[in-house]
Amino acid sequence: MRDKLGSLQLQLLMLHDTLLAAIRHFIAVSPAEEDLVREWFVPETLAKGDFFLRPGEVSRKIGFVVRGVFHNFRSRDGQEHSYYFGREQEFIGDYESFLPAQPAVHAIQALEDAQILTISYDNLQRLYREFREGEKFGRLVAEQLFVDILRQLTSFYEETPEERYARFARTYPDLQQRIPQYYIASYVGVKPQSLSRIRARSVR
Q: Please give the residue that has the higher pLDDT: either 76 or 41.
A: 41
Q: Return d(Cα 169, Cα 80) in angstroms, integer.
A: 20
The model's confidence at residue 47, banded by pLDDT at 50, 70 and 90, is: very high
Farthest-apart Cα atoms in the chain, separation: 59
pLDDT digits (tens, 9 = 90+) for 122-180: 999 999 999 999 999 988 888 887 787 777 778 777 888 888 888 888 888 889 889 98
* % of the chain exceeding 90 in pLDDT: 51
The residues near 137 (Cβ < 8 Å, ≥ 6 apart) are 23, 26, 27, 127, 128, 131
pLDDT value at residue 203: 61
pLDDT value at residue 3: 54
Q: Please give the residue that has the higher pLDDT: either 157 or 21.
A: 21
Q: Is 167 exposed, middle or buried (0-12, 13-18, 19+ CB in 10 A)?
A: middle
Average pLDDT over residues 80-85: 85
Dihedral of the alpha carbons of 16, 21, 23, 24, in degrees to the nearest 10:
140
Q: Please give the residue that has the higher pLDDT: either 31 or 75.
A: 31
pLDDT value at residue 129: 95
Please say whether the beta carbons of 52 and 108 come within 8 A. yes
pLDDT value at residue 76: 79
pLDDT digits (tens, 9 = 90+) for 50-64: 999 999 999 999 999
